């Protein structure tokens, strides 16, 4: 089948589809009694009431309905139409009659037998109207008479360079005309409203997906196309607007129309795998040309912009059709055939609307003659079908991606099952090895700390006992001195045992230390007091650090008892930032540490402080002595870590 035969086939399909719609919309008319005017008389006149036979600048002329008059052919603006119809003398006088106008874009007035019957709101210098809906005007009771009646309709003037359209008029019982009006209202008013809402909702959803996944360009184009078409379809909903905003709205309308076609072309190219940045820039430039032309020229040139620039969108639509057909031929899948089929319908409906707007007579060669008079535009239905096809393609693509992912997951699941068992087995072995290493490390650290403390006991307590023994043997020590030396040795030994206790921590050792010294201080008539202001975590010291810290405190308290002559002593242990501070202060007379024996004086305490990485500060005077130890906690943690690593 040749390309020409294919085009004829699709054209015939469209023709019979539209014919079926037309037959359905006229089915009620064939079986009812309303009068449908296919011919009326027309006169251009500025008269506010129906003019007589010789009241206008030109006589009444017979015209065939629907009628189309260019604004240049009607210099006076308004057009009057009149016709006669009969009402049977035996007709039910109680039945309500009405006049049905399928469209009257600029509004006008209806007169029956020279009497005003009703009107369709017209525009004004401050208000623009464009009525897409049908109008059902109820004829007031008493205006109709049995037999011959005359109807006169004034169609309001149109703007410059615009065609004024007048429909076929129906007059008859309201009960029979209302279904016709409701049916047309559904197709030209309700359906566009549904289209606008659905397009904007779908656009928001799809553009959100694109915002989150910028690599999915097809989703972005589909969302943009839906948004543009939703805006464009508003032309069937917005029927009244202030004049000052009308031109901006028309610019937005043409922008949405051209933008939809261009975005559709970009979608077709990307879907077919065609990437031509230069062609894409040309399409975008043509899209912007029409709205910019209208903005620059003003509303007076809208008809020219609409006629020429819109015609240029038809070749773009045919190019989209060719690209989609080429993609279908290359891919040869059902999904690839969706776009060409829907695009054929959209292009044909676009050609139909263009011919309906500018040359309705040409449609008579393809469609029933009366169809053009109905002025039912079909492009928004074809575009809805295209959007549905685009959404179907993206949905199919999404489903295929999920299927591929599920297949990959199924393959990985088998591999993961084997890997998981191996990893679990390896993890169990590593956990067992880690537990053994941790236990060995704890044992090593404990043994190392015990060794350090034993060395401290040997070098400290053992040396003191040995020195005291030599002095006793030489007779250099009195009984009191022997008792003091033994008491000091017992205190050192008790302190070491408390720190080495396996179940106790530094906090327990500190409590025992303070309790023991409280008793000794009170026996020496010295009132002790202490304050512990350290978070519980900071008291978690290593055994070696705890032993050195308590020995510094013990040395300081021993000096208070032996040399200070104090009545009160205060012990403070607090944390200040990253430092641990120990302070021992008394109210005695001060002490001269330079006279103390080696190992028991300031050099001993300073050596211990340096071993802990801290600083020792001693201030003595008539008001007493204050000893301050500043121990960095960071250094203390490092020491503990080093001990663990040994």
Mean pLDDT of 393-402: 79
Place of tokens 């049995």: 146
Q: Where are the domains positioned within the chain? A: 34-185, 213-410, 439-645
CA dihedral angle for residue 500, residue 504, residue 508, residue 512, rounded to 10 degrees: -50
What does the alpha-carbon distance between residue 97 and residue 276 come to, in Å, rounded to a whole number?
62
Diameter of the chain by CA atoms? 161
Residue 383, CA distances (Å) to 15, 287, 336, 339, 461 in order: 18, 17, 18, 11, 101
Any idea which residue has 């008001």 for tokens?
623
Closest CA to 588 of 527, 513, 520: 527
| 330: its two tokens | 């290359």
Q: CA torsion sign, 339 to 341 to 344 to 347? A: negative
- For 187-225, the pLDDT digits (tens) are 888 999 998 999 899 899 989 988 988 888 888 888 898
DSSP track, 238-280: --EEEHHHHHHHHHHHHHHHHHHHHHHHHHHHHHTT---HHHH
CA dist 166 and 155 (Å) reads: 8
Do the two domains 34-185 and 439-645 of this chain adopt the same fold?
A: no
Q: What angle is formed at CA 201 by the lines to CA 195 and CA 205, rounded to 5 degrees? A: 140
Nearest to 163 by CA among 263, 307, 31: 307
Q: Encoding tokens for residue 269?
A: 């190219």
State yes or no: pLDDT of 177 exceeds 90: yes
pLDDT of residue 108 exceeding 90: yes
Give the integer Cα–Cα distance in Å for 168 and 237: 23
Q: 10 Å Cβ neighbour count for 68?
A: 18
In angstroms, the CA 463 to CA 582 distance is 27
| 472 vs 25 pLDDT, higher one | 472
pLDDT tens-place string over residues 604-629: 788 888 888 888 888 887 788 888 88
Q: Rounded to whole angstroms, how far apart are CA atoms 447 and 488?
A: 26
Which residue in this structure is represented by tokens 């591929």?
404
DSSP conformation letters of 101-136: ES--TT-EEEEETTEEEEEEPPPBTTEEE---S-EE
pLDDT tens-digit readout, 288-326: 888 888 888 877 777 778 778 877 887 887 787 788 778
| Distance from the Cα of residue 414 to its chain's centroid | 37
DSSP E strands in 587-623: the ranges are 615-621
CATH class (in words) of the domain with range 34-185: mainly beta
Q: Where are the alpha helices (DSSP H) in 475-542?
A: 479-500, 506-523
HEC sequence for 7-35:
HHHHHHHHHHHHHHHHHHHHHHHHCCCCE
Q: Using pLDDT thresholds of 50, 70 and 90, give the confidence band for residue 464.
A: low
Please indicate whether residue 242 or residue 32 has the higher confidence score (pLDDT): 242
pLDDT at 468: 66
Q: What is the pLDDT of residue 31?
A: 36
- Sorted by sequence, the CB contacts under 8 Å of residue 158 that are 6+ apart come out as 71, 105, 106, 164
Q: Six-digit token pair at 366?
A: 């393809």
Q: How many residues does the chain have?
A: 646
Phi, psi (rounded to 5 degrees) for 148: -75, 135
Single out the residue of 61, 102, 79, 43 nearest to residue 162, CA to CA.
79
Task: Please name every residue paired with 359 in a beta bridge, in sequence order, or none if there are none.
Answer: none
- Which of 19-33, 69-83, 169-183, 309-323 has maximum average pLDDT? 169-183
pLDDT for 460: 58
* SS3 annotation, 530-548: EEEECCHHHHCCCHHHHHH
Beta bridge partners of 37: 169
**Given the structure tokens 């008859």, which residue do they identify?**
172
Q: What average pLDDT does the segment 164-184 reach?
A: 91
Q: Can you spell out the DSSP letters for 61-101?
A: EEEESSEEEEGGG-TT--EEEEEEEEE-TTS-TTSPEEEEE
Q: What's residue 353's pLDDT?
A: 77
What does the CA dihedral 275, 278, 281, 285 come to, rounded to 10 degrees?
-140
Rounded Cα–Cα distance for residues 463 and 485 (Å): 12
Give whichever of 124-138, 265-279, 430-444 has the largest mean pLDDT: 124-138
pLDDT at position 495, please?
66
The rounded distance, in Å, linking the Cα atoms of 416 and 422 is 10
Would you give the end-to-end CA distance of the chain in angstroms? Answer: 91
What's the order of all strands across the beta sheet hosting 35-37? 35-37, 169-173, 97-101, 135-138
Instruction: State the Cα–Cα distance between residues 365 and 352, nearest whole angstrom.
Output: 12
Strand partners, 150: 84
pTM of the predicted model as reported, rounded to 2 decimal places: 0.55
Residue 85 has a CB neighbour count (10 Å cut-off) of 17
Q: 83, 88, 82, 92: which is closest to 174 by C-alpha?
A: 92
From 2-11, 351-360, 466-475, 597-606, the region with the lowest mean pLDDT: 2-11
Average pLDDT, the chain: 78
Task: Please check whether the domain covering 439-645 is classified as CATH 3.30.565.10.
Answer: yes
């Amino acid at each position: 089948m040749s390309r020409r035969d294919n085009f004829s086939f699709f054209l015939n399909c469209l023709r019979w589809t539209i014919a079926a719609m037309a037959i359905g919309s006229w089915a009620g008319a064939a079986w009812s009694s309303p009068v449908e005017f296919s011919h009326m008389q027309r006169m251009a006149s500025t008269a506010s009431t129906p003019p007589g036979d010789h009241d206008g600048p030109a006589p009444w002329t017979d015209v065939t309905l629907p009628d189309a008059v260019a604004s240049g052919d009607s210099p006076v603006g308004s057009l009057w139409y009149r016709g006669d119809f009969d009402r049977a003398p035996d007709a039910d006088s109680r039945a309500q009659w009405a006049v049905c106008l399928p469209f009257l874009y600029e509004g006008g007035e209806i007169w029956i037998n020279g009497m005003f019957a009703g009107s369709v709101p017209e525009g004004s210098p401050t208000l623009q109207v464009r009525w897409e809906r049908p109008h059902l005007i109820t004829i007031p009771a008493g205006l109709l008479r049995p037999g011959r009646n005359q109807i006169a309709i004034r169609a309001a003037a149109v703007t410059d360079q615009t065609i004024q359209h007048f429909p076929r008029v129906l007059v008859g019982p309201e009960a029979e005309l209302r279904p016709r009006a409701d049916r047309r209202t559904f197709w030209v008013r309700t359906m566009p409203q549904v289209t606008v809402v659905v397009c904007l909702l779908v656009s928001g959803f799809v553009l959100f997906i694109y915002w989150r996944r910028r690599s999915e360009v097809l989703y972005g184009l589909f969302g943009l196309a839906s948004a543009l078409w939703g805006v464009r379809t508003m032309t069937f909903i917005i029927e009244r607007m202030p004049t000052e905003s009308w031109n901006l709205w028309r610019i937005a309308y043409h922008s949405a129309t051209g933008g939809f076609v261009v975005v559709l072309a970009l979608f077709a190219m990307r879907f077919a795998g065609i990437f031509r940045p230069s062609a894409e820039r040309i399409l975008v430039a043509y899209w912007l040309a029409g709205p910019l032309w209208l903005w620059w020229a003003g509303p007076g040139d809208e008809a020219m912009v609409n006629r020429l620039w819109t015609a240029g969108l038809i070749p773009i639509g045919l190019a989209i059709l060719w690209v989609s057909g080429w993609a279908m031929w290359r891919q040869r899948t059902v999904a690839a055939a969706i776009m060409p089929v829907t695009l054929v319908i959209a292009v044909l409906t676009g050609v139909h609307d263009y011919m309906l707007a500018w040359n309705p007579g040409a449609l008579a060669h393809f469609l029933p003659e009366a169809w053009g008079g109905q002025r039912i535009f079909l492009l928004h239905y074809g575009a809805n079908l295209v959007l549905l096809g685009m959404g179907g393609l993206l949905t199919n693509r999404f489903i295929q991606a999920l299927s591929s992912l599920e297949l990959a997951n199924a393959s990985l699941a088998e591999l993961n099952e084997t890997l998981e068992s191996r990893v679990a087995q390896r993890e169990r072995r590593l956990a067992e090895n880690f537990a053994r290493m941790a236990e060995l490390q704890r044992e090593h650290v404990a043994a190392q700390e015990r060794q350090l403390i034993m060395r401290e006991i040997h070098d400290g307590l053992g040396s003191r006992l040995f020195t005291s023994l030599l002095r006793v043997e030489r007779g250099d020590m009195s009984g009191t001195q022997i008792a003091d030396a033994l008491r000091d040795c017992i205190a050192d030994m008790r302190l070491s045992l408390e720190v080495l206790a396996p179940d106790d921590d530094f906090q327990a050792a500190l409590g025992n230390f303070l309790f023991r010294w409280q008793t000794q201080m009170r026996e020496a008539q010295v009132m002790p007091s202490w304050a512990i202001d350290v978070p519980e975590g900071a008291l978690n010291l290593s055994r070696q650090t705890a032993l050195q810290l308590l020995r510094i405190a013990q040395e300081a308290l021993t000096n208070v008892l032996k040399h200070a002559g104090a009545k009160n002593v205060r012990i403070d242990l607090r944390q200040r930032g990253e430092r641990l501070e120990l302070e021992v202060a008394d109210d005695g007379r001060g002490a001269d540490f330079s006279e103390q024996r080696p190992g028991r004086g300031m050099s001993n305490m300073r050596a211990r402080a340096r071993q802990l990485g801290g600083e020792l500060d001693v201030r003595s005077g008539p008001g007493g002595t204050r000893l301050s130890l500043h121990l960095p906690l960071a250094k203390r943690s490092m020491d503990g870590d080093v001990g663990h690593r040994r």
